Amino acid sequence: MKFLCFSDLHRNVEAATKLVEKSNNADVVIGAGDFATRRQGVEDTLTVLSGITKPAILVPGNGESATELEEAVRVAGWKSAKVLHGTGCVVEGVEFWGVGGGIPVTPFGEWSYDFSEADAGALLAGCKSCAVLVVHSPPLDTVVHDSSGQIRGSQAIREVVENTRPKLVVCGHIHSDWEKSVRLAETLVLNAGPRGVLIEVDVSVN
């Protein structure tokens, strides 16, 4: 299956417009959060992205809440988009699970939509087995090397990846590792970024 994966648009309408064009080459579009900036302007890019007719799976970032993202999708009339947060769905026979927000809690303050590792564990608990896991925050020690060289990411997400072994994990959040991918055991982990990455993954059940 061909995926167009992106994250961290932060109100960038030009990038959103290019993603609409790229979506024609994908089977499913995945948006891994941060459509807004500091909880402002989530509708800016959603209005443009609503031109995507392919099935789309979205999670909130730490820049917008799940409720804010759901409302923006509704107002934009993006019929093919589904927002996941501690929930899953099936698209064209493929299992998806999604968890958004900053994990663990970021240093950014009250505006940031964040969760502790314990909270994340509860949100991820329903991900018994899935082909694609969509999260805003990366698994710990994967595509998480920030501009200061520190290794970041979520232990709870790493554990669920190791235990459920999804075929693909799509994330964002750490800007300095955009478009980078690594393997965590058998799983491909991609930090997507705003330009969008087209990737083909065999998500069939072995």
Rounded mean pLDDT of 139-162?
A: 78
Pick from 19, 167, 26: nearest CA to 94 = 167
Does a structural domain hold residue 206?
no
Other CB atoms within 10 A of residue 167 CB: 20
Does a structural domain hold residue 187?
yes
Q: What is the pLDDT of residue 31?
A: 98
Does a structural domain hold residue 196?
yes
What domain count does the chain have? 1
Q: Any long-range contacts for 119-123 (C-beta under 8 Å, 24+ apart)?
A: 120/154, 120/156, 120/157, 121/156, 121/159, 122/86, 123/85, 123/86, 123/99
The residues, any chain, with a CB within 8 Å of residue 118's CB and separated by 6 or more, are 156
Does a structural domain hold residue 173?
yes
Give the residue numbers spanning the domain of 130. Answer: 2-200
Q: What is the pLDDT of residue 115?
A: 96
Does a structural domain hold residue 186?
yes
Going by pLDDT thresholds of 50, 70 and 90, the confidence category of residue 175 is confident
Residue 160: give its domain's CATH number. Answer: 3.60.21.10
From residue 121, alpha-carbon distances to 52, 104, 112, 147 in Å are: 32, 11, 19, 27
Predicted structure pTM score? 0.94
In this predicted structure, the answer to whether residue 120 has a pLDDT above a threshold of 80 is yes
In this predicted structure, the answer to whether residue 15 has a pLDDT above a threshold of 90 is yes
Does a structural domain hold residue 126?
yes
Does a structural domain hold residue 77?
yes
- Comparing 145 with 51, the larger pLDDT belongs to 51
